[in-house]
Structure 1
Amino acid sequence: MMEKIECKNLHKEFKGDGTSTVALNNINLSFQKGEFTAIIGPSGSGKSTLLSLIGTLDKPSNGTLTYDREEILKKGKNKIADFRFKEIGFIFQQFHLLPTLTALENVLTPLFARKVPYTKIERAKEVLKQVGLTDKLDSLPSQLSGGQQQRVAIARAIVHKPSWLLADEPTGNLDTETGERIYELLKELNELEGCGVLFVTHDPVLAAKASRIITMKDGVVLSDKEGVSS
């Protein structure tokens, strides 16, 4: 299990049509497994880009990303993908559930064709129970509310027991009350599973409940401080 993430001079620049846009400008941050970190800032501040790089979905233009001092992005595509599967769980604002699969089948998808040291179906049922959906195993996404669909997405993200849970605006499409319940569920999973959580949000009220709050603007870190739950 990976215990620490370090971003050193992490820089990301997008180029096209003769122009270039700096999304991240020499970011230096570190994260410890077990932390619950909120990343806030206006649109275009670099929050999602940072999360994408940390999750190995993209590579930086410059700088290094290390997990326990190992530069993961220097490995080949297959090894990066294997690392991502073992260590990282993703939750997105758009739930990305497969519409023709049941809740149970959606949660099972990360485990298909993978050898894991536990019974796949029992593990999927276990995490659906954790998120309060024991009675929705056979329901299709179209039969679930937005909050229920997001809980299925969360169960899918943790079914393989990742070290890190990366959430990009997971409450953005939900009403305030449901969004707060999803946030509390993430905190509960953080405490029970021991995984590190990096949570991108525009909502300062939700961010204030985190143990650590990172504020970004124009690709740089403006502040990095403890939250109320630290």
Structure 2
Amino acid sequence: MTGKIECIQVGRAFHGDGVSTNAVTNINLSFIKGEFTSIVGPSGSGKSTLLSLLGTLDSPTSGKILYDGEEIMKKSKKMISDFRFENIGFIFQQFHLLPTLTALENVLSPLFSRKVSYNKVERAREVLEQVGLADKENSLPSQLSGGQQQRIAIARAIVHKPDWLLADEPTGNLDSETGDRIFELMKQLNEQEGCGVFFVTHDPKLAAKADRIITMKDGSVLSDRKGESIGYN
């Protein structure tokens, strides 16, 4: 279990064709398991880059990120992969469901190559029930609505009970009513499971419902405050 994440002077630069671009710079933040945090800001502000860094999908080019005091990205690729599997679940704007697999099989997919202490199929059915789609376990993605596909993606993300749920624009491809339902489902999971949630969004109305709102611009943190009605350009 990972209860705390700390970003210390974190930066991420990309280099190409003789040009260096700072996607994020000088990020100093800490997060406690159980918080629901929205990350907002205009396109290109560094939101998705920060999420990739927090989720160990990418490494800082400066500074460090500590998970319960450990610098995980200094470890071997296998240890990083194992840490990610044990601690972090990902949800994206694109659902990334495998089209030839059923809903149940898509939820099971993170477990295919893993040894776990529980019955994999029973656990997958449990999370399908949790997201309200127990009756769709044999359906292919093409037979599901966008909102249902996103709920399958959420079930897949939580199948191994991660400590942290990282969602990058999870409502971006959905109408506002469906997006509201997806947000409420994630809030419910946050409250019931105690997982920390990072919710990247362009929707100020949804962001305002979070416990905490981090606003970014040009790769930097502009503000870090408790949830309230917000707006940005």
TM-score band w.r.t. shorter chain: over 0.9
Superposed, 1:19-98 pairs within 5 Å as 19-98=19-98
Aligned-partner residue type, residue 175 of structure 1 = D
Superposition TM-score, scaled by structure 1 size: 0.98
Where does residue 100 of structure 1 map in the other structure?
A: 100
Aligned partner of 1:221 in structure 2 is: 221
Aligned 1:123-134 pairs, distance under 5 A? 123-134=123-134
Aligned residue in 2 for 1:193:
193
TM-score normalised by length of structure 2: 0.97
Question: Deviation of residue 152 (structure 1)?
Answer: 0.2
Task: Provide the identity percentage.
Answer: 76
> How much has 1:117 moved relative to structure 2?
1.4
Paired with 1:99 and 1:204, the residues of 2 have a C-alpha distance of 32
Q: 2 CA distance for matches of 1:5 and 1:214?
A: 15
- What RMSD in Å do the two structures reach over aligned CA positions? 0.9
Q: Does 1:179 align with 2:179?
A: yes
Counterpart of 1:82, as a letter, is: D
Question: 2:167 corresponds to which residue?
Answer: 167
1:202 equivalent in alignment to 2:202: yes
Distance 2:156 2:113 in 1: 15
- Between stretches 219-228 and 3-12, larger displacement belongs to 219-228
Classify the secondary structure of the residue corresponding to 2:98: coil
> What CA deviation, in whole Å up to 9, does each residue of 1:16-43 have, x standing for no partner?
0111111111100000000000000000
AA matched with 1:64 = K
Unaligned runs of 5+ residues in structure 1 are none
Aligned length: 229
Query: What CA deviation, in whole Å up to 9, does each residue of 1:178-229 have, x standing for no partner?
Result: 0000000000000111100000000000000000000000010000000159
Residue 155 of structure 2 aligns with an amino acid whose one-letter code is A
Looking at structure 1, the residues matched to 103 and 154 of structure 2 have their Cα atoms a distance apart, in angstroms, of: 11
SS at match of 1:110: helix
**Per-residue Cα deviation, 1:147-169 (whole angstroms, up to 9, x for no partner):** 00000000000001100000000
**CA–CA separation in structure 2 for the residues paired with 1:19 and 1:113:** 40
- What secondary structure is seen at the aligned counterpart in 2 of 1:70? coil
The runs of at least 4 aligned residues of structure 1 exceeding 2 Å deviation read: none
Once residues 49 and 113 of structure 2 are traced to their aligned partners in structure 1, the CA distance between those partners, rounded to angstroms, is: 30
Q: What SS class does the counterpart of residue 128 from structure 1 fall into?
A: helix
Q: Give the match's secondary structure for 2:138.
A: coil
- 1:35-74 Cα offsets, whole Å, 9 max, x none, are 0000000000000000000100011111001100000000
Q: CA deviation at 1:115?
A: 1.3
Please give the per-residue CA displacement for 1:83-110, whole angstroms capped at 9, x wherever unaligned.
0000000000000000000000000011
